[in-house]
Structure 1
């Protein structure tokens, strides 16, 4: 138990992978493709449909729909044309999924020092087409670049982290609708003393080859007692209302307003392991992945949408509501807010909201 707790502190990703290996795993089945390809029938709300990849089957193969193969796809984002970008963790690549389900591998060049992308965990595409990938460095002792920024021109930038007496761990990148820069967050601590680890948010601006400016650290007196000694920001979403929704330690949610007010929200809800969160444009509804389940919160009311189901559904991962087997990792909300696309055990899937 102590070892598992340490993994949670230092890498939420490793804990999730370990837990999922112990979960009963659904197998891919023929009715997934039939369900996904039924164009003349509108899926019911809360329908879960696999659009690419083979459930519980690892591989590295481009193709259409279930012909394609991934190896633990994690972070996911969507472009204006509906193309999905997926961080394929153990294939060390970024994959693209077209609106018709065609999977291809992004041609990402090596860095100037010859290093290639290792363990991409999150990926975001900016309005100008820039693709930013955050690599997970806890999976290997090899020194690697944390950020891979591919410009539309084909130029690759791998900026260094801040260099001072802090050691930085990056857990999340988020789009800021009011800035040309992404927001990066995680934890930092004095390199010679790791007892007190402090969460931080920075703008992903690059100056003199270094990434990160305008740092913000949550005020200790606004954090709950459990977070004051370890306030790592494990996930964040920037709302269109100017509010940043911040997850601390994977369990506690705070909001940071444009005027600088930092407060905890949803105090009466007991979260377990928040992997990702998104909000609709008016921020009245927030969607989250908590311990594999997809939930929503609207008007302070929590609604369970889909999540790990009974063993009887293992052979049929797709379905409606509690008839679907879901253990989600990361997600993105479609532009029309009618669909959540998410990664789940070597597949890319979608949840029909309405």
Structure 2
């Protein structure tokens, strides 16, 4: 039987058609998140929250604790009842938001923090080279840095600072800044004028007993001020705590300058510290020191005697509920103390904030100790950390190189996430065993072959790892040494510098991008490695893809182009004019501008997709060579789920993949998400059978989630049970007796 479809008609027929719905719905190119979330834990118990490398901690007079959640680019607050929330930062690294709500602003690696008696919060916004202020009403401003160029003696808002890591405020409202990059301490007086109170700007150690402004500091990280106005400096790379008196004279109050551990029970000036990163002073004048490399918190009493008050000196996590001195810390870099003697520790590598009571008992105040979560549940509720690569297989699984979680994750066709490689701790181990028990180090790319083997660019292990279908991990290329050698021999004996891209062709040959050596290498099915020659010099290549004919496509990021290398070795430019701008949509791809392309993918019909990272877009090049944007509006942000991909904001897209149905997957790196741009409408290209891929524009058989268009003049035969989401446009369906169309 023949059936001609027309728009705006709903049909029900005894000829095996059920609920046939014809729609003009604009499903094409909509974007959605398929993995990753902002599940920070806000509004819930602080110990269950996600805190990522906290480096600063402060406590106000009411016992409210503030946390510099550095790698989440946020400032968090823990109330006295233990609930956590975000008070500054939207999670994206950047600089914006002054004059508006602090929670909508962007920070970039906030480090030290302080709070004054009126509830104003001060943030050392380190990588923005700025100090920000958040009022009790939640408004944010910049006090110094970011865009200023002035120097001492003028308004702080016109001045610059370089890598501020610590901030403190005294009883009268003067603000002190540990300007790490220029080895000095700056002061913003209550009238807004900036000056230097310690350090010459040159690194070194000198000056004790004289004016602090004539002394040398070496990467001061922390600063604190006591009730009398004396200033204390964590002079980190001098391995000392320095004091600047109210008369401006500098001295050493702890540390010998030796990068070591010694001296407990004796004078602090005879004790050795190792990279002290923070110092706090209580109302009685006792000092608390984050002795970072020694994995300790040490206390100097008012008599000058030093002792260990938290940490046993070994790395790791442990000890909650017991004596703080028996607990393990892992690179504590921040410390704060409240009036009753309770002190708080930014236990950075443990991704927690710890609390020590006056009686000496330690517990976790905030952070669940995880930088990843979600395994076994919906991928959209999982936490990713700088996802940099994606791949798909023929069964509908999605694979994610979860870079700074040091894992590879898999999302099933039903949307459930799991880990297939990596323990979550960086390192190198595990070959020959279960991949989930192995250690990876910043995996940046992932690929899957036809039989389900997964290949991982284990970047800082300088290896390519393979996870076989039985879950066993092995190394297939790279010996771990930072070098370039080994061509013509076994790939496992070859050296690579920084492998960032990997792909595999239909016959099992492996292709590797070595970004640092700017080379492309091939590992044959026999395990021999060779170099793929290009007729042009590559600069910082990052991503690679191979089409069904064996042609290679290379994201030549530093040249702002995409190259093609044919099977005969001919190199051409297929996109980009060499100028680092996102321009040229609607015209020839070779005349368009790309802004640091980092990822490439090729659809079955030859369509090329490019992660235009610097432009915060994904571009599409048709087989005819025309370029357009398919995702991203150019704004570094997160927005747009459920809308057209071109209206959405993405943040540094890095890796991309396209599945057999034409769905595009984007590693939206700085948003810690994987986004999917739904495939366009699948249309008929000729008369044919529904189950034949040659009938359709995608060269694939439509799935139940697709939207199908039967074009005028085309007749499509259905001889089996077919389930589809939408059929639209004009066309003819021919049903055999066994044919059914379900919705």
TM-score, reference length from structure 1:
0.63
1:302 and 1:30 map into 2 onto residues whose CA distance is 24
2:132 and 2:144 in contact (8 A); partners too: no
Cα offset, 1:90, TM superposition: 1.8
Per-residue Cα deviation, 1:63-96 (whole angstroms, up to 9, x for no partner):
2143222122221111222111111112221111
Change (3 A) 1:44 1:314: farther
- 3-state SS in 2 of match to 1:282: coil
Cα offset, 1:230, TM superposition: 5.5
Are 1:300 and 2:342 counterparts? no
- 3-state SS in 1 of match to 2:103: helix
Change (3 A) 1:255 1:229: closer
Provide structure 2 residue ranges, at least 5 long, that are not aligned to the other structure: 1-34, 44-78, 207-215, 311-324, 375-380, 385-669, 671-743
Cα offset, 1:127, TM superposition: 1.4
Q: Paired residue for 2:94, among 58, 61, 65?
A: 58
Change (3 A) 1:88 1:314: farther
Per-residue Cα deviation, 1:183-224 (whole angstroms, up to 9, x for no partner):
1122566xxxxxxxxx322222487xxx65232234775259
The aligned residue for residue 263 of structure 2 is 222
The aligned residue for residue 290 of structure 1 is 347
Q: Paired residue for 2:336, among 278, 301, 307?
A: 278
1:26 and 1:55 in contact (8 A); partners too: no
2:130 and 2:143 in contact (8 A); partners too: yes
- 3-state SS in 2 of match to 1:168: coil
Q: Paired residue for 1:174, among 210, 224, 229?
A: 224
Are 1:200 and 2:200 counterparts? no
Report how many aligned residue pairs link the two structures: 266
- 3-state SS in 1 of match to 2:326: coil
The aligned residue for residue 80 of structure 1 is 117
Per-residue Cα deviation, 1:116-156 (whole angstroms, up to 9, x for no partner):
2122111111112211111122xxxxxx3622211112332
The alignment's C-alpha RMSD in Å is 3.8
Q: 1:1-354 maps to which residues of 2 (within 5 A)? A: 27-28=37-38, 45-62=81-98, 63-106=100-143, 110-112=150-152, 116-137=160-181, 144=182, 146-159=184-197, 161=199, 166=206, 168-169=217-218, 170-177=220-227, 179-187=228-236, 199-205=239-245, 213-218=250-255, 222-223=263-264, 231-250=274-293, 251-266=295-310, 267-283=325-341, 285-291=342-348, 292-298=351-357, 299-307=359-367, 308-309=369-370, 311-312=373-374, 314=382
Change (3 A) 1:127 1:32: same
Change (3 A) 1:255 1:83: same
- 3-state SS in 2 of match to 1:82: coil
- 3-state SS in 1 of match to 2:190: coil
Compare relative contact order (CA 8 Å, sep 6+) and give the higher one, 1 or 2. Answer: 1
Provide structure 1 residue ranges, at least 5 long, that are not aligned to the other structure: 1-24, 34-42, 138-143, 190-198, 317-345, 347-354
The aligned residue for residue 8 of structure 1 is none
2:167 and 2:224 in contact (8 A); partners too: no
Rg larger in 1 or in 2? 2
TM-score, reference length from structure 2:
0.32
1:86 and 1:94 in contact (8 A); partners too: yes
1:184 and 1:98 map into 2 onto residues whose CA distance is 26
1:50 and 1:28 map into 2 onto residues whose CA distance is 12
1:61 and 1:70 in contact (8 A); partners too: no
1:233 and 1:303 map into 2 onto residues whose CA distance is 22
